[in-house]
Each structure stands twice: as structure tokens, then as C-alpha cells.
Amino acid sequence: MSGARAALELYASILPMCDPDTNPAMGGANQLAVAAIHNDVGGVLRQLLQDSEALRHYAQALSMYSRCCGQDYIEAATVHNNIGSVYLRMSWYGEAKHHYTRAMVIR
């Protein structure tokens, strides 16, 4: 897991630079890249079994994709699938089903 922790440290150093409130260059289309970073951070946190933190980053990614491209943006399907995986591990089957179904509808 040391690779996952190293990745998390790298992402933690990158994300503050990606905040459009403090770095206006990161607004607009760059938000797609920032959303992808949040999805990736969620994946690393999921590997480290930090489910609530993973869900927080996945929610951030979904919010950004929705603002930039609408709720049915194809990358949002991947995030919904990832969220479903976290909820499944947490035994929150209703939430897992909701997100897996949403991912299928988008795709």
C-alpha cells in the first residue's frame, strides 16, 4: 500500500493548485481535469479502505462533471460505478444499486 500512500500524497499536493477560487486558470474546461483528479483520489482512498473520504472525493467529481457537462456526461458513469463499489463494500445495498443503475443508464 505504500504506492497508494505515495499517490495520495502527490494528489494532496496537486489539488490545492487546482482550486478555481485561488487559481482562476483552473476554471472552465480545466474543471474536467480536476474532476478526474478527484475521481482518482477517491480510487486511492477506496484502496486504502477510507470509504467516507473516497465518497467525498467522488461527490466532488460528480459535482464538477455535472456543472461542466451535465449529469449524463460519460465520465460521470465511471464515478457512479465507483461510488456503487464503495457502498457495496459498506453493505449499503440500496445506495450501491442506485449508483450502479445510474452508471448503466448513462452508458
pTM score = 0.88
Provide the angle, in degrees to the nearest 10, between the axes of the packed helices 51-69 and 74-89.
Answer: 160
Quick check: 5 pLDDT over 80?
yes
Digit-coded pLDDT (tens) for 39-92: 999 999 999 999 999 999 999 999 999 988 888 999 999 999 999 999 999 999
